[in-house]
């Protein structure tokens, strides 16, 4: 006689309609958590450097918060991935968000005590929230079929936009609230982050039942047992490794190029006489282009294919680099277009690369692998940001933009190599049959 749990799993296997309803529910819950998670990102991006500058009384270490958040994010991506693999998405993601919220509370306490060491330690912990916000995009894909995965990824990314846009607009209000309760104004956005990250974690902990990754693992095991019983099970590990390599390459390269050019654009503009308002407009268009096209991008990746959209990412980033390099320094319109293309190219690359990663992993190892790869994405972003300053200091913004655009072209041979490998494998399989 089947146990209640086994009976529940079999009900999803035997009822595609029930599984479809669960998939939609999971996507709704993850999307809801992403709205809160996006709002939690605002503090680190907006005032982290300013808070360190105020507490230290110097500009020399203003870049340290960004580095610490990135390092914390990389470490957390690894841990959240492993927690998710062992205990399910619900446990891994809710833990990551809540830990990020506790880090935000620690930043507020550090500001109140004027303790720089505590500030830096808590910024590392705060990085767990940013890592988890990125990891959550995978949860919506666990129960999606291959033709739905990119759309699921893009849906969660669009939901992140709402929080990410709302967060910075609440900075001034949260600063006033911070002063009202007797803490430094610049710590106010971290109060918002604490509430947002903890709410995101609670939404997932309470509502993400049954766990989508656990269901996906058991459905995969059930299908494998049936296939083995019918002598039709033939795992193809070479294809998986190739797909992982290409998916990771696409995401890492797009992250390096995007972060490098984006980081130095405000510096380039300031040196050429643009004010903070103009810089804000350009970066605002850039961030909008990173997330808002996601719904369309997801449909294109599912319909047109991962390979085509990865190539489109490389070409779009190339045009962004060329335009940023050769646009007249006083042309706001061309800089807006260049940074918008940069965000769009990143969007194409992240969604197509993520879809390839999901395609290339089995549920039994999926979350662990995804967490490991997100470490490389975080470190790629940190490297792109750090190296961009060195390149511009020793050459120019033109050189950086051209170099980034040309680097993005490596995506094309990478995905063609993947495609050739798939064709070759299919040919061998057909001959063996």
Residue 126 corresponds to which tokens in the numbers above? 């705060």
Report the pLDDT averaged over residues 229-235: 59
User: Highest mean pLDDT: which of 10-24, 60-74, 212-226, 398-412?
Assistant: 398-412
pLDDT for 54: 82
pLDDT for 147: 87
Q: The dihedral of CA 333, 334, 336, 341: what is its sign?
A: positive
Residue 234: pLDDT above 60?
Answer: no
Q: Between the CA of residue 21 and those of 143, 146, 201, 212, what are the distances in Å?
A: 10, 17, 23, 12
Residue 9: pLDDT above 90?
Answer: no
282-314: pLDDT as tens digits:
877 887 888 889 989 999 999 999 999 999 999
Question: What string of DSSP letters covers 59-90?
Answer: STTTTHHHHHHHHHHHHHHHHHHHHHHHH-HH
Share of the chain above pLDDT 90, in %: 45
pLDDT for 415: 79
Report the pLDDT averaged over residues 41-69: 73
Report the pLDDT averaged over residues 268-281: 81
Residue 423: pLDDT above 60?
Answer: no
Give the residue from 36, 259, 271 showing the smallest Cα distance to 133.
36
Rounded distance between C-alpha atoms, residue 37 and residue 193, angstroms: 8
pLDDT for 1: 39
pLDDT for 70: 83
Residue 180: pLDDT above 70?
Answer: yes
81-99: pLDDT as tens digits:
999 999 999 999 999 999 9
Spell out the residues 6+ positions from residue 4 whose beta carbon is closer than 8 angstroms to its own. none
- pLDDT level of residue 45 (50, 70, 90 thresholds): low
Q: Which long-range contacts (CB under 8 A, 24 or more apart) does 112-121 make?
A: 112/182, 112/183, 112/184, 112/187, 114/55, 116/52, 116/55, 116/56, 119/51, 119/52, 119/55, 120/64, 120/65, 120/68
End-to-end CA distance of the chain: 39
- pLDDT level of residue 7 (50, 70, 90 thresholds): low
- For the chain, domains (ranges, CATH) are 17-228 (1.20.1250.20), 237-422 (1.20.1250.20)
- pLDDT level of residue 424 (50, 70, 90 thresholds): very low
pLDDT for 432: 42
Give the residue from 205, 206, 170, 174 showing the smallest Cα distance to 187.
174
């Amino acid at each position: 006689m089947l146990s209640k749990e086994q009976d529940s799993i079999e009900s999803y296997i035997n009822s595609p309609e029930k599984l479809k309803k669960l998939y939609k529910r999971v996507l709704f819950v993850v999307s809801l958590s992403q709205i809160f998670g996006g709002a939690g990102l605002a503090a680190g991006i907006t005032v982290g450097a300013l808070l360190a500058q105020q507490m230290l009384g110097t500009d020399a270490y203003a870049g340290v918060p960004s580095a610490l958040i990135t390092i914390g994010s990389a470490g957390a991506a690894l841990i959240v991935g492993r927690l998710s693999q062992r205990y399910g998405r619900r446990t891994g993601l809710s833990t990551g968000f809540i830990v990020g919220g506790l880090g935000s509370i620690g930043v507020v306490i550090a500001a109140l005590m004027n303790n720089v060491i505590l500030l830096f330690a808590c910024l590392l912990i705060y990085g767990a929230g940013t890592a988890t916000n990125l990891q959550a995009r995978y949860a919506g894909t666990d129960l999606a079929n291959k033709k739905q995965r990119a759309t699921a990824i893009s849906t969660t990314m669009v939901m992140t936009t709402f929080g990410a846009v709302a967060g910075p607009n609440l900075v001034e209000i949260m600063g006033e609230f911070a002063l009202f309760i007797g803490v430094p104004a610049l710590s106010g956005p971290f109060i918002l982050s604490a509430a947002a990250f903890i709410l995101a974690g609670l939404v997932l902990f309470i509502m993400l039942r049954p766990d989508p990754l656990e269901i996906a693992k058991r459905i995969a095991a059930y299908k494998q047992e049936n296939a083995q019983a019918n002598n039709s099970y033939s795992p193809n590990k070479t294809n998986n490794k190739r797909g992982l390599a290409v998916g990771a390459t696409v995401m890492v390269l797009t992250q390096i190029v995007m972060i490098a050019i984006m980081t130095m654009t405000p510096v380039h503009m300031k040196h050429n006489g643009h004010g903070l308002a103009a810089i804000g407009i350009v970066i605002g268009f850039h961030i909008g282009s990173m997330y808002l096209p996601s719904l369309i991008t997801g449909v294109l990746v599912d319909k047109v294919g991962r390979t085509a959209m990865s190539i489109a990412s490389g070409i779009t980033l190339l045009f962004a680099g060329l335009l940023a390099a050769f646009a007249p320094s006083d042309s706001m319109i061309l800089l807006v277009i260049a940074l918008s293309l940069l965000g769009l190219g990143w969007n194409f690359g992240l969604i197509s690369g993520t879809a390839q990663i999901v395609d290339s992993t089995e549920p039994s190892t999926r979350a662990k692998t995804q967490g490991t790869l997100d470490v490389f994405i975080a470190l790629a972003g940190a490297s792109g940001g750090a190296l961009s300053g060195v390149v511009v200091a020793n050459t120019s913004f033109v050189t950086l933009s051209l170099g980034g655009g040309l680097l993005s072209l490596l995506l094309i041979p990478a995905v063609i190599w993947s495609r050739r490998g798939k064709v070759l494998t299919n040919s061998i399989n057909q001959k063996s049959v």
